[in-house]
Chains A and B, each alone.
Chain A
Amino acid sequence: DAGVTQSPTHLIKTRGQQVTLRCSPKSGHDTVSWYQQALGQGPQFIFQYYEEEERQRGNFPDRFSGHQFPNYSSELNVNALLLGDSALYLCASSFTGTGNTIYFGEGSWLTVV
């Protein structure tokens, strides 16, 4: 049973460019969340998708957007990249419902130069 998988693993972008990160949830999971983790910090919640809709959103600007597909996989898009967007982007999946364990992928390292 594959866990949460993310791609790409690492990427380098230039300021002002756009990036798309991808996530496949653990088998059977229907809820996908995205987190940003700066170096030395704990992950920060970006947003969550369920039934192809954004259900919750953290304190991130509209440059951060996402999508969930019918097979529950998800994309995170960041437009107009800033140097401060350099971070590890983590995808998490779970069954909907508050009491369930949340599983994370290995993350995508984004460096903005």
Chain B
Amino acid sequence: KQEVTQIPAALSVPEGENLVLNCSFTDSAIYNLQWFRQDPGKGLTSLLLIQSSQREQTSGRLNASLDKSSGRSTLYIAASQPGDSATYLCAGNQGAQKLVFGQGTRLTINP
């Protein structure tokens, strides 16, 4: 059974810092890994999708990496801004579009 863990559960950093969010999964047989952002009381916004054959994906200030052999993915946010404050969720795709989620990292960027 796939289990996804995100550490830390919460993170608070000053504006402008670069930061890394961690995601680990127990079953390396995932087809891809997707990172999402969730604002309070809202749905999920897809940030990045990394296919199992890829090692990383970039979008603007965001960079996500995937290491299937170690069961890890990281989300790197450069030059953080207050608008980046949200909960970040990673999810492994177990096949046929079924996602297994971590519990999320609640990120606060302080001006």
Instruction: Name A's B-contacting residues (CB within 8 A).
Output: 4, 6, 31, 33, 35, 40-45, 48, 55-56, 58, 90, 92, 94, 96-107, 109
Contacts and interface: CB of A to CB of B under 8 A. Distances in A.
B31 interface: yes
A106 B4 CA distance: 23
A104 B36 contact: yes
29 contacts: A4-B43, A33-B98, A33-B99, A35-B101, A42-B101, A42-B104, A43-B44, A43-B99, A44-B101, A45-B99, A45-B100, A48-B98, A90-B44, A92-B99, A94-B97, A96-B96, A96-B97, A98-B31, A98-B93, A101-B34, A102-B97, A104-B43, A104-B44, A104-B45, A104-B46, A106-B42, A106-B43, A107-B43, A109-B41
A56 B46 contact: no
Given A55-B96, A101-B46, A104-B44, A42 B102 contact: yes
Contacts, number: 72
A86 to B, nearest CB: 14
B96 A56 contact: yes
A43 to B, nearest CB: 5
Contacts of A104: 36, 43-46
B38 to A, nearest CB: 9
**B interface majority secondary structure:** strand
Contact of A98 (B41, B44, B96, B101): B96
A99 B43 contact: no
A36 to B, nearest CB: 11
B80 interface: no
A94 B36 CA distance: 15
